[in-house]
């Protein structure tokens, strides 16, 4: 299948307040966001024409920027409205949305106090790749060669672009060895997350998930925890040691792109995706595609 470059597509992108032709949404090569990673972003999904949990994503984008020391000059309501305008302009029912904010090119150096803050929002087609049944085979993860940093060494609560380089390196290493993804430990050697998704273990009917104290507490993660508890399943957030994978009967990951994806293996450990994974896949799919999804997002 031919790859369509992301800089050479039809359509429009919301850029600093207006919809502009896709190919004209450009930034200068000396932008601070490129050189010093002063850039934050979001990943959002459109189901049946509606962005799931849009306001939560817009709020996190603003908060991520503030953690990096800059203020996005549009309110959460403005960002919501701009995102909805972008989605309408695509005419797509199922899509992926990428808001991104960054420091511009007024100053080039570590210090960039006077740089203009830019915001762009793009959306493109993103169909569901798996049926609930086909997901149940489970993906294979290797151990990542990089670890999530400690909270006092990086702005770990921000969805900041710079924090994802170790994810790219780990994902590439996994794919080169025939795996779909990699499982990252944290700076203490505890289980953390996959390269772009949160981790859950099912042990004797209870769901265990690492405490998100050095990585993002994902919006999908929180949604799935709510769905599990609504089913009467106990969810325990705690520090989890790698050797505890041997006690798990089911393992799954969650994220905007991953949704709820079962894991069939991590390194030497093997799992059999079962009733918990299947139930949460169906519950999540029903939630995001329900007519009341927007109301649920605002609740």
Which are the contacts of 271, defined by CB distance < 8 A and separation ≥ 6? 138, 248, 249, 250, 251, 262, 263, 264, 265
Whole-number Å distance between alpha carbons of 231 and 169: 37
Tell me the β-bridge partners of 14: 19, 121
Residue of 53, 135, 159, 171 marked active site: 159
Is 87 in contact with 57 (CB distance < 8 Å)? no
Asked about 159 being catalytic, the answer comes back as: yes
Please give the structure tokens belonging to residue 246.
Answer: 């041997």
Pairing of β 18-21 and β 269-270: unpaired
Which stretches of the chain are assigned E, i.e. beta strand? 12-15, 18-21, 39-41, 44-47, 50-51, 95-103, 117-125, 139-143, 181-185, 191-194, 198-203, 206-210, 235-238, 250-255, 259-266, 269-270
Tell me the β-bridge partners of 39: 102
* Residue 55: strand, helix, or coil: helix
Residue with tokens 């808001």: 99
Pairing of β 139-143 and β 117-125: unpaired
Which one, of 221, 246, 247, 245, lies nearest residue 235 by Cα? 221
The catalytic site residues sit at: 159
């Amino acid at each position: 299948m031919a790859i369509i470059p992301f800089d050479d597509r039809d359509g429009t992108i919301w850029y600093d307040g207006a919809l502009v032709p896709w190919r004209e949404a450009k930034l200068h090569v000396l932008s601070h966001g490129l050189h010093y990673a002063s850039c934050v972003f979001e990943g959002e999904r459109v189901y049946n024409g509606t962005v799931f949990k849009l306001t939560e994503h817009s709020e996190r984008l603003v908060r991520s920027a503030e953690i990096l020391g800059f203020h996005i000059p549009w309110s959460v309501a403005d960002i919501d409205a701009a995102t909805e305008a972008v989605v309408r302009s695509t005419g797509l029912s199922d899509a992926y949305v990428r808001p991104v904010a960054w420091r511009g090119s007024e100053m080039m150096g570590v210090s960039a106090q006077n740089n203009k803050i830019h915001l762009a929002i793009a959306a493109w087609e993103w169909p569901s790749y798996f049926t609930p049944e086909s997901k149940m085979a489970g993906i294979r993860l290797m151990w990542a060669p990089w670890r999530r940093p400690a909270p006092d060494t990086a702005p770990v609560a921000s969805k900041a672009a710079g924090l994802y380089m170790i994810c790219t390196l780990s994902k590439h290493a996994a794919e080169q060895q025939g795996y779909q993804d990699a499982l990252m430990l944290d700076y203490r050697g505890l289980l953390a997350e996959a390269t772009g998704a949160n981790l859950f273990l099912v042990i004797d009917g209870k769901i265990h998930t690492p405490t998100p104290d050095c990585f993002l507490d994902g919006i999908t993660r929180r949604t799935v925890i709510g769905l599990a508890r609504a089913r009467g399943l106990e969810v325990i957030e705690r520090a989890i040691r790698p050797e505890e994978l041997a006690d798990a009967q089911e393992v799954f990951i969650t994220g905007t792109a991953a949704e709820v994806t079962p894991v069939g293996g991590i390194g030497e450990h093997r799992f059999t995706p079962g009733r918990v994974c299947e139930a949460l896949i169906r519950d999540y799919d029903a939630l995001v595609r329900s007519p009341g999804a927007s109301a649920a997002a605002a609740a």
